[in-house]
Amino acid sequence: MKSLPVCRADRLAEQPAEQRWLIESLWTDQAVGIVGGEPKCCKSFLALDLAVAVASGADALRRFRTVQTGPVLLYAGEDPLHVVRGRLQGIAHAAGVTFEGLDIHAITAPTLRLDLRADQQRLVETVRTVRPKLLVLDPFVRLHRIDENAAAEVAPVLGFLRNLQRRFGTAVLLVHHARKAANHVRAGQALRGSSELHAWGDSNLYLRRKGEQLILAVEHRAAPSGEELTLELKACGPGLALHRVEPPMEPAEVVTTSNPAQRIEHALATSSRALTQRQLRRACRMRTETVGQALADLVDQGRVLRAGDGYRLAARG
């Protein structure tokens, strides 16, 4: 019998740091994962926002840098196609990109069952044709007839999607519901069905409501998860799109030094979180151009690091 192929650990291929993200801080390269949350938490809007970012190169949620771009393949199992078009058009407007010609391909088949071999083969051939950088499947409950609570039935479906990711080098985003009134448990454990779903994801995004606000939690298998973000769905031109809500500035001592770099470093040192350029401009009471130039110098010098959600002081040795 033929043995399995092996490779010594120090000869395994390395991945440059720049290629470890599909969307910086939100989705790792070629990751499979879940966008989860209770009903009416804008899960589909978030999935479509990532789709527009990958297809166009625009920042996701107007904040997170898209590192790699390419075609997106989308199956929307709940919403009519004209609704999907309208949402994509609104998100594209918010992102400042042209909707016409956007490299997003919608599967128009009325049904797609990932537990049926014939539909699996059709999806494989579609992925082979489109070669998507990102495959979006929304929602999981419309993609099968299995018992979601039975690991023995869920695992083969997730295994098929993992094989699809490895075979074609595509990221896979699966939209899935969380149990109602599950805010008291960890986000991943609140997902409906078998724990296989939580364990499967390389990058998972969870949305929950807190009053009128949407809270986004980020979870990665092989990268720091980052802080929770507050989002809101608001009108932008012809449609709706998610936007990050800027947290209120923490009170800080005003530094009167005329050195822009010192003022920025002081603001970052007295903040418990990363700060955006806009927040730094307000905290330091400086012009946008001055803040931008000082930040660029500090980053070049290694004194400040750029994160997906803003700027932080570099650790001092």
Residue 309 has a pLDDT of: 65
State the pLDDT at residue 14: 78
Instruction: Please give the pLDDT value at position 252.
Output: 47
Give the Cα separation of 220 and 239 in Å (integer): 31
Q: What is the mean pLDDT of residues 163-179?
A: 96
pLDDT at 132: 98
Is a pLDDT exceeding 90 seen at residue 156? yes
Contact (Cβ atoms closer than 8 angstroms) between residue 226 and residue 215:
no
Q: What is the mean pLDDT of residues 51-70?
A: 96
Q: In the predicted model, is pLDDT for residue 187 greater than 70?
A: no
- Three-state DSSP state, 54: helix
Gap between the Cα atoms of 51 and 61, Å rounded: 11
Give SS3 for 133: coil
Contacts of 51 (CB under 8 A, 6+ apart): 72, 74, 88, 104, 134, 136
Residue range 10-51, pLDDT digits in tens: 888 876 665 689 999 999 999 999 999 998 899 999 999 999
Mean pLDDT of the chain: 89
Lowest mean pLDDT among 74-88, 179-193, 268-282: 179-193
Instruction: Give the tokens for residue 47.
Output: 């999935």
> Alpha-carbon torsion 260, 262, 267, 271, what sign?
positive
Residue 231 has pLDDT above 60, yes or no: yes
Distance CA 137, CA 103 (A): 16
- Residue percentage of the chain with pLDDT more than 90: 61
How far is CA 84 from each of CA 36, 87, 109, 123, 253, rounded to the nearest angstrom?
19, 5, 14, 20, 48
* pLDDT of amino acid 273: 79
CA distance readout (Å), 12 to 8, 15, 17, 29, 229: 7, 10, 16, 17, 36
For residue 251, what pLDDT band results from cuts at 50, 70 and 90?
A: very low
Closest C-alpha to 101, from 55, 57, 170: 55
Residue 205 has pLDDT above 60, yes or no: yes
Query: What one-letter code names the amino acid at 66?
Result: T
Distance of CA 104 to the CA centre of its chain: 17
Ordered by where they begin, the domains of the chain are 19-244 (3.40.50.300), 260-313 (1.10.10.10)
- Under the banding of pLDDT at 50, 70 and 90, the label for residue 159 is very high
Task: Report the half-sphere exposure of 47 (CA within 13 A, side-chain side).
Answer: 30
Burial (0-12, 13-18, 19+ Cβ within 10 Å), 111: exposed
- Least trusted range by pLDDT, from 116-125, 177-186, 228-237: 177-186
DSSP string for residues in 84-101 = HHHHHHHHHHHHT--STT
- Cα–Cα distance measured from residue 12 to residue 8, given in angstroms and rounded to the nearest whole number: 7
